[in-house]
Structure 1
């Protein structure tokens, strides 16, 4: 197999700081794209170093121990330093680690975090003024304790904000690094890596974590969760609001009040958003005609679907379907699309 063409760029050097209890899955998802990039390009595009606080091996949350290359040295000069953390991250925020991260930031070394690594970066103060994300399980505690007011946390899978790269857990770091490789080496290499990993779609910064309603709200209301579950199970044939209320043994007015209080939007708007998010997945992941996608998500009228989709995402369903082909063709706006929503279009 011929090597995949890449950008004529310098070698990129990445550091991974492994903190006790780090997520092995999140760490591997962040590292493996760089290994595969070298393999497919048949040359070294990336090198990496594994780092721990004291230079000793580190145990992951699974109990598996990983050897490292060095300790947190002052002289490291890297293109990106990624903090890999996991459960019990609060116990990893010691003075030495936080001080070291601050000094790296002072030297303008780009910093990243996977899984709960963003929590450590926020504790160090190096995310102040940035947008960031981390695993959804920690949103509730952060919001309710009013922690990190200078950081704008989002529910996105990952966030690349200038020289800060943060990702939620699981395999989300894979998508973040594939987006980074796209910027540095081109889309062809990134998509070839995704194919090698049987990763059907490279998700972008517009994709959000699927967060349980009770966690996202920081509280729980059984009736509200019951109705939300019914909505998710009935996207193709949406249930009337009165029927949803009846299933939960509520009046329509009571249901509207619950959504306004806990979700801060009317139930019909919440339901519409679920349907449109499902439509976006079908447009991106399948070859279904746009009309069939509309029907699968409960829209009888194509014109209503197009208008609703445009209002929600800033572009039409047809535009969503053509974005990938435009990027492959080298569209000049491709890089901006990894940072911002696609420009609005009147295209149906």
Structure 2
């Protein structure tokens, strides 16, 4: 997609979606539907899209549904951008023809993207060297090992110059809404979000919640148990010596486990879990900053604000103000607002959302 900030474009942008065997259908739909709705709501043909396969033959999604593409790679129309749609068993879904075609499209100056595990294919083609990129968490470890020159993150999506990559599920929707909002205005992105009954558009600062079991495997039950205790005790943090006692390890063993497998100290990891929960509460509830600080285990609001600013780059007050003034969130009819909830009720609602197992440190 073009990076132009002009609201009106003379020529529609044409996006080519390269479908690989066993691609994830929900990710494709999440990427295409915002384009369709952008055209519908704007009354203009802002975007066109085509589906592509290696030889033009139908391809099956991971759920078994078959898609007949618009063209094969040898008859590709002129494109503004290419987005690779990956899915299950991505390593065995890529052919030499895919790689060569992607490299040729990049040489032509096309913007290149990947959704779900599609970034694995871009990395294999050497098109993510030196770029920040996102991928579905199941593919995270293998990508980090196989493509060390790519800057792989746990973010839901990454925009780095002419590279657009997203994790799976509905994350492509957030990425496309971000791009549409950047190019055609946040009001249009907000209207699309409303049509899809999508309550909050996530941004580049939102991360995937990577299951700790996936990060550690099954060989570190003690560490998993410790992290579970941390996550269950954010309001009143447990002393590290007590944590060690609970899982029958020494304080020194506890620190070694965190350094070896999570690359940080236990206290730092605990702090980040509390800050991430605080950010969830600021963005998703009406709790005051004082209440958020309290339920996340901070003894004073100034200390909370200092830690929050150091980690996220902005103070909690600005985070809350930005969320309230964010035009890409759904407008709420005043008459339909629920009665003000208590801090405890807000906390209980927010606790339904899983915390990060892998913490950006």
TM-score by shorter chain over 0.5: yes
8 Å CA contact retained: 1:55, 1:69: yes
The SS at the match of 1:76 is coil
Task: Give per-residue Cα distances to partners, 1:227-247, cap 9 Å, x unaligned.
Answer: 111111222222222222222
Counterpart residue number, 2:298: 299
Q: For residues 29 and 167 of structure 1, what CA distance do their matches in structure 2 show? A: 11
Counterpart residue number, 1:64: 65
Counterpart residue number, 1:8: 8
8 Å CA contact retained: 2:15, 2:49: yes
Counterpart residue number, 1:335: none
Counterpart residue number, 2:79: 78
| Superposed displacement of residue 328, structure 1 | 4.4
Q: For residues 168 and 57 of structure 1, what CA distance do their matches in structure 2 show? A: 24
Moved more, 289-298 or 24-33: 289-298
Q: For residues 161 and 225 of structure 1, what CA distance do their matches in structure 2 show? A: 33
Counterpart residue number, 2:49: 48
Q: For residues 286 and 186 of structure 1, what CA distance do their matches in structure 2 show? A: 26
Counterpart residue number, 1:156: 155
Counterpart residue number, 1:339: none
Are the structure 2 counterparts of residues 218 and 74 from structure 1 closer, same or farther at C-alpha, using a change threshold of 3 Å?
Answer: farther
Task: Give per-residue Cα distances to partners, 1:106-146, cap 9 Å, x unaligned.
Answer: 00100100011000111111112211121111222233xx3
CA RMSD of aligned residues (A): 1.9
8 Å CA contact retained: 1:93, 1:123: no
Counterpart residue number, 1:113: 114
Are the structure 2 counterparts of residues 102 and 63 from structure 1 closer, same or farther at C-alpha, using a change threshold of 3 Å?
Answer: same
The residue correspondences of 1:260-275 to structure 2 (distance < 5 A) are: 260-275=259-274
Counterpart residue number, 2:142: 141
The SS at the match of 2:51 is strand
Q: For residues 166 and 81 of structure 2, what CA distance do their matches in structure 1 show? A: 14
8 Å CA contact retained: 1:200, 1:285: no
The residue correspondences of 1:195-234 to structure 2 (distance < 5 A) are: 195-217=194-216, 220-234=219-233
Moved more, 279-288 or 320-329: 320-329
8 Å CA contact retained: 2:120, 2:143: no
Are the structure 2 counterparts of residues 80 and 220 from structure 1 closer, same or farther at C-alpha, using a change threshold of 3 Å?
Answer: farther
Q: For residues 296 and 133 of structure 1, what CA distance do their matches in structure 2 show? A: 31
Are the structure 2 counterparts of residues 48 and 75 from structure 1 closer, same or farther at C-alpha, using a change threshold of 3 Å?
Answer: closer
Q: For residues 147 and 141 of structure 2, what CA distance do their matches in structure 1 show? A: 13
Task: Give per-residue Cα distances to partners, 1:232-287, cap 9 Å, x unaligned.
Answer: 12222222222222221122222112112211211111011011011111212222
The SS at the match of 1:160 is strand
Moved more, 176-185 or 295-304: 295-304
Task: Give per-residue Cα distances to partners, 1:157-202, cap 9 Å, x unaligned.
Answer: 1111111111111111111111111111111111222222222211
Task: Give per-residue Cα distances to partners, 1:83-102, cap 9 Å, x unaligned.
Answer: 00101111122111100000
| Superposed displacement of residue 215, structure 1 | 2.6
Q: For residues 142 and 313 of structure 2, what CA distance do their matches in structure 1 show? A: 32
Task: Give per-residue Cα distances to partners, 1:269-323, cap 9 Å, x unaligned.
Answer: 1011011011111212222211121122122311111011011111100111122
Q: Specify every segment of 5 or more residues in structure 1 that has no aligned partner in the other structure, as ranges.
A: 1-5, 330-348
Q: For residues 236 and 192 of structure 1, what CA distance do their matches in structure 2 show? A: 37
| Superposed displacement of residue 327, structure 1 | 5.7
Task: Give per-residue Cα distances to partners, 1:10-35, cap 9 Å, x unaligned.
Answer: 32211111111000111111111111
| Superposed displacement of residue 51, structure 1 | 1.0
8 Å CA contact retained: 2:157, 2:175: yes
Q: Specify every segment of 5 or more residues in structure 2 that has no aligned partner in the other structure, as ranges.
A: 1-5, 329-361
